[in-house]
Amino acid sequence: MRYPKAALLALAFILCLPALAGGGPENLFLVVNPDNPDSVAVANEYIALRQIPPINVLNLSGVPATPTISVADFKTILLRPILDAIHQRGLDPQIDYIVYSTGFPYAIDISADMAGKQFPRYVTQPASLTGMTYFRDLTLAGDTTYLDHDANFYARGMKPKNGAHFPPGAKSVQDTLQTLLTQLQAMRQAGPTAAPPMPADKLAALDNAIAVVQTQTKQRRANANALYDLTAVLALQGWPDQAMGALTAAFQAGWMIGDVTAVDTELTSLHDRQDFKDLVAQMRAMIMIPDPAKPFHSATAWDRAGNVTTAADGRHYVMSAMLAYTGGPANTLAEALQCLRTSAAADGTAPRGTIYFMASTDWARSGTRAWLFQSAVEALNELGVRGAIQQGVLPANKPDVAGAVVGIAGFNWKDSQSILLPGAFCDHLTSYAGVMTGGTGQTMLSEWLRYGAAGSSGTVTEPYAIPVKFPSPFVQVYYAAGCSLAEAFYLSIPSPYQQLLVGDPLCRPWAKIPQVRVDGLKDGQVVAKAVKLTPTSSHVGTPVRYELFVDGILRESCGEGQTLPLDPRGLAAGDHEARIVAIAGPLETTGRLILHFRVL
């Protein structure tokens, strides 16, 4: 890690199933590789545990057995057939998750998309299977804006607890950028005629700096990471005043990693400056508040500011995960199955454990997120969930690990003598945790799943220690607030194109799940004519919305106190399934009742 500078499967039915916030089995499309026995076994287990409707399962043959495939093959062999199947089955309005069983490539070679274009050196490839699926529209279009630092408009922002990024009276980021641009342009004009003349390499660096600042002044939201990168360029070129202008703009735009900034060797020329020390002190003192979570729908379009929009340039996404990666040095089939069983049992249990934020001495990995640890702990405390910041690599001798944010290349969980509680999301920020074939000398994300985590994530190649390329510590806050594992993950990462998300995306340990009741239909009833179903739920507070799914397809919806019509006309004679789903609260937490009926 370097810090950069510049056949339907078997289905078991349950009459009343506690469901998950942030969508449920009706909203998940499960893709299975029928040529891979592990893929079939994992999918069968998940279908039974999560009650995935048969219509939501796709057996997709011809999947390459390689760990990496080209972006062209990904679109032709995987993504387009999946989206076509969803559309042909009439599931477009309800699918929010595309989830792969095991037995799929984990990485996508996107070099063809990048060919002929210039990118900063920290924009690396390949991308991940789940990241490229999340960006389905951009991926299909070959639109490389999926590489941008803020490509995920669904990700939530944050704001300082005191309401401002910088002291009252200080210039805004746009004012700071304009001042910096004026200085750089003046230096460029004087460069060729100055005594002595400015060398060609310095002129080129200056031209690049001007181009970066011009781009930033035109954007509605300045890119803090790009501005920090520019700071290093200016400092290394021997322009400390201009470097401080770029660093100030980076801070105002959201760069708050004081501990890393303070020891950055490429900023050595700034270290003795009082304004540099003061700015670092402000960074270290900042407590950030995460923006509230918003429920996810693939039909919802998001704008760059993270708001729902109807504008043509709004972006749609689809959450994606792999249930497991089995074989080689990754998980065994038995480990994958146990992981899914444990995570399903964790739903709604509100674990009475601790989420640990580990500050190691490896600042390229730990320091990238450590600046938000205290902010995350305070936010968790407000939710009634315990968070703790500890020094070291792993929490030691802790029997209550409900989650972990770690920064280290390699670790041995067994030696820590700690225990992961069911439902925990854990990750370690390093370069190759998502390389599922191993051989990198770094611990793979599968290690967390081996010892009981519901999910983990990791990058599939060297990403550099760019904060927006990794889930922020607020992933634990969104999870503890009641979001699903997948929602919490995508809410917390602005640039997920290289992150591989593995585990149970529907796991929701802290969700307050409404229990559903219905009058008008009993399990096993013969339905000979249209009936009206009257749903109610255990939810207290905000009005509840209800949806009726027949054989997995959304048919009707209604509000509190209204009815759902169930009409057997058009249904084939035989057994059918009705799902009545309650959707409650600001996170649209769902609960469901599954009943069977017969048409003669």
Residues 128 and 181 in one domain: no
Last residue in a domain, options 450, 471, 503: 503
Instruction: Identify the pLDDT of residue 403.
Output: 98
Residues 171 and 201 in one domain: yes
Residues 52 and 128 in one domain: yes
For residue 500, the tally of other CB atoms under 10 A from its CB is 26
Cα separation, 235 vs 240, in Å, equals 5
Smallest Cα–Cα separation from 331: which of 344, 322, 318?
322
Instruction: Identify the pLDDT of residue 147.
Output: 96
Cα separation, 453 vs 501, in Å, equals 12
| Residues counted in the chain | 600
Residues 152 and 168 in one domain: no
Instruction: Identify the pLDDT of residue 193.
Output: 82
Residues 168 and 151 in one domain: no
Cα separation, 257 vs 229, in Å, equals 13
Give the distance, in angstroms, between the CA of residue 261 and the centroid of all CA atoms in the same chain: 26
In a domain, 209, yes or no: yes
Instruction: Identify the pLDDT of residue 10.
Output: 29
Instruction: Identify the pLDDT of residue 163.
Output: 64
In a domain, 498, yes or no: yes
Instruction: Identify the pLDDT of residue 19.
Output: 36
**Per-residue pLDDT tens over the stretch 435-470:** 999 999 999 999 999 999 999 999 999 999 888 999
For residue 149, the tally of other CB atoms under 10 A from its CB is 18
Report field, pTM of the whole predicted structure over 0.85: yes
Last residue in a domain, options 286, 310, 338: 286
Instruction: Identify the pLDDT of residue 501.
Output: 98
For residue 24, give every residue at least 6 positions away whose Cβ sits within 8 Å of its Cβ, in sequence order, or none: 50, 506, 581, 590, 592
Instruction: Identify the pLDDT of residue 338.
Output: 98
In a domain, 483, yes or no: yes
Burial of 82 (0-12, 13-18, 19+ CB in 10 A): buried
Residues 449 and 427 in one domain: yes
Residues 62 and 96 in one domain: yes
In a domain, 543, yes or no: yes
- Total of domains in the chain: 3
State both tokens at 513.
Answer: 């799940």
State both tokens at 225.
Answer: 């990471």
In a domain, 206, yes or no: yes
Q: Please measure the distance between the N-terminal and C-terminal CA atoms of the chain and give it in whole angstroms.
A: 64
CATH number where 560 lies: 2.60.40.10
Q: What are the 10-residue block averages of pLDDT along the chain, 600 residues in total?
A: 39 32 86 98 98 98 96 98 98 97 98 93 93 98 95 92 58 85 89 83 88 82 84 93 93 84 91 95 88 95 93 95 97 98 97 96 88 95 97 97 97 97 98 97 98 98 92 98 98 97 98 96 96 95 94 96 95 97 95 96
For residue 385, give every residue at least 6 positions away whose Cβ sits within 8 Å of its Cβ, in sequence order, or none: 355, 402, 480, 510
Last residue in a domain, options 471, 503, 535: 503
Report CA-CA distances (Å) from 84 to 18, 34, 59, 217: 30, 18, 13, 41
Cα separation, 552 vs 579, in Å, equals 8
In a domain, 171, yes or no: yes
In a domain, 138, yes or no: yes
Residues 115 and 197 in one domain: no
What angle in degrees, to the nearest 10, is found between the helix axes of 200-218 and 240-253?
20
Residues 228 and 121 in one domain: no
Instruction: Identify the pLDDT of residue 166.
Output: 53
Instruction: Identify the pLDDT of residue 17.
Output: 35
In a domain, 200, yes or no: yes
Smallest Cα–Cα separation from 318: which of 583, 482, 501, 550?
501
For residue 411, the tally of other CB atoms under 10 A from its CB is 19
Give strand pairing partners of 332: none
The residue whose two tokens read 């559309």 is 87
Amino acid at 57: V
Residues 71 and 144 in one domain: yes
Question: How many helical (H) and strand (E) elements, i.e. helices and strands, does the chain have?
Answer: 19, 24
Residues 265 and 279 in one domain: yes
**Per-residue pLDDT tens over the stretch 369-382:** 999 999 999 999 99
Amino acid at 364: A
Instruction: Identify the pLDDT of residue 353.
Output: 97
The range of the structural domain enclosing residue 142 comes to: 21-156+299-348+423-503
Residues 51 and 166 in one domain: no
